[in-house]
Structure 1
Amino acid sequence: MSIVLKVEDLDVFYGTSQILFGVGFQVERGETVALLGRNGAGKSTTMKAIAGLAPPRRGRVELRGHDVAGRKPHIIARLGLGFVPEDRQIFPEHSVEDNLSIGHKKGPEGQDDWSIARVYEVFPLLAPLRHRMAGRLSGGEQQMLAIARTLMGNPTAILLDEPSEGLAPIVVQRIGAFLRELRTTGATVLIAEQNMHFCLGLASRVIVIDKGQIVYAASIAELKANEDVRQRYLAL
């Protein structure tokens, strides 16, 4: 397998406050990896640093072999990164289908695998909502739309920041099924979550972050067997 995303020795500051300390990990093609940690551990900052929204003071971010650390977000997006932020950022006054159309572009190597028809085929829950204004969707429907719109850009790697945040348990289950279906397409995905149980059936590997540092990295099976790590870093 080839490495799609590689992060090395990342230091990120907000003003004079250091948030990330030497963060490093990699994601291989076709993997779904979970970046787990409590609220405030540094998950969102890591995602923003990769996406160009919180430029690192030190370290390296490689996307498909390109060093993108500190580059502008639109440049990183053109190189194949799709980012679904925590607040989703859909266009509320546009229909579901308009949101999908706005997101459509070819991938960095001319890929055009995702079309509106394929989104509706892979994620049929969106099809009956195609003419509804996005601002009138439920939180879970908006999350699905945000992910689907990102896919319309034919990204090489997808970052999902807290996709289960603020959603009812039944809706979280639906989003999980949506992401399991996405995994079958061969997508490369990094999910930042504090909800460990949401990720157990989605990810193949986990990376645990605490106080801005990577403290544990292992398979899902190893995390399940390590009660000490779960209690120390992930118990709410």
Structure 2
Amino acid sequence: MSADSLVRPAVIEVAGIDVFYGASQILFGVEFAVQEGQTMALLGRNGAGKSTTMKAIAGLAPPKRGAVRLFGQDRTRQKPYEMARAGLGFVPEDRQVFPEHSVEDNLLIARKPGPDGRDEWSLERIYEVFPLLTPLRQRMAGRLSGGEQQMLAIARMLMGNPSVLLLDEPSEGLAPIIVQRIGTLVRTLRETRVTILIAEQNMHFCLGLASDATVIDKGQIVFRGTIAELKANDDVRQRYLAL
């Protein structure tokens, strides 16, 4: 972990979780922590277990063993809506916008104060931070491009005023210019000291965004350290991240 993260409390703690889909075990003793205000990259190839880890944290894939703690409280068996009320915001890999509703309706559906009563994300602020969405506010979400849907999914999540953000594969399948815009957005969010966990195959996307990295392979954690340490570790990058 980076030096300054050692003095900050852990916001997300994943403690030795095993996750199954039916009879198939997907995660094997996965364990890591994300400190307050930290941006952590969860890296690995396709199928390594990144999305399952994110779903386990969000309450969508409850662990059979181990624990998930949020702000020091055990949340292992809580439902997704309970995690959202506790301050967790989750943007899934497939975005899941409401296709038959307008952009603005998608945003308004998600609007709620944060767990501490914070209400920092208004429609006006969303359109200021996401200018791409302003001319699209009355367009049906199902008619948006992939990049526009990704922006909408992140904006919709922010309307819930979360304290912790989970972004699952935010750059996947998007044009380079949109990936660049999403990177800029994540940097903006990082500057607010919100806690962010990004699951990605694209290590290069995360290099300028995250301070720390956790690498997962075949459902097991194979590396934990700073981004600088990952850059210096050719063996880990070649074995677990090279495409």
TM-score, normalised relative to structure 2: 0.93
Identity %: 74
What letter matches 2:164 in structure 1?
A
Runs of 4+ in 1 over 4 A off after TM superposition: none
Residue 138 of structure 1: how far off its partner (Å) = 1.1
Q: Who is 1:53 aligned against?
A: 60
Alignment partner of 1:140 is 2:133 = no
Q: Matched residues in 1 for 2:80 and 2:70: separation?
A: 13
Q: Who is 2:43 aligned against?
A: 36
Unaligned runs of 5+ in 2: 1-7
Alignment partner of 1:81 is 2:88 = yes
Q: Does the CA contact (< 8 Å) of 1:84 and 1:146 recur in 2?
A: yes
Alignment partner of 1:230 is 2:224 = no
Residue 226 of structure 1: how far off its partner (Å) = 1.2
Q: Does the CA contact (< 8 Å) of 1:144 and 1:178 recur in 2?
A: no
Which of residues 200, 212, 219 is equivalent to 1:193? 200
Residue 24 of structure 1: how far off its partner (Å) = 0.9
What letter matches 1:47 in structure 2?
M
Q: Who is 1:176 aligned against?
A: 183
**What count of residue pairs does the alignment treat as equivalent?**
236
Which of residues 172, 188, 191 is equivalent to 1:165? 172
Q: What CA deviation, in whole Å up to 9, does each residue of 1:52-79 have, x standing for no partner?
A: 1111001111111221112111111111
Q: Secondary structure at the match of 1:75?
A: helix
Q: Who is 1:15 aligned against?
A: 22
Residue 167 of structure 1: how far off its partner (Å) = 1.1
Which of residues 89, 98, 111 is equivalent to 1:104? 111
Alignment partner of 1:62 is 2:69 = yes
Q: Matched residues in 1 for 2:36 and 2:123: separation?
A: 24
Q: Matched residues in 1 for 2:143 and 2:15: separation?
A: 41
Question: Could you say what the CA RMSD is over the residues aligned between the two structures, in angstroms?
Answer: 1.2
Unaligned runs of 5+ in 1: none
Residue 179 of structure 1: how far off its partner (Å) = 1.5
Q: Does the CA contact (< 8 Å) of 1:106 and 1:112 recur in 2?
A: yes
Which of residues 219, 223, 226 is equivalent to 1:219? 226
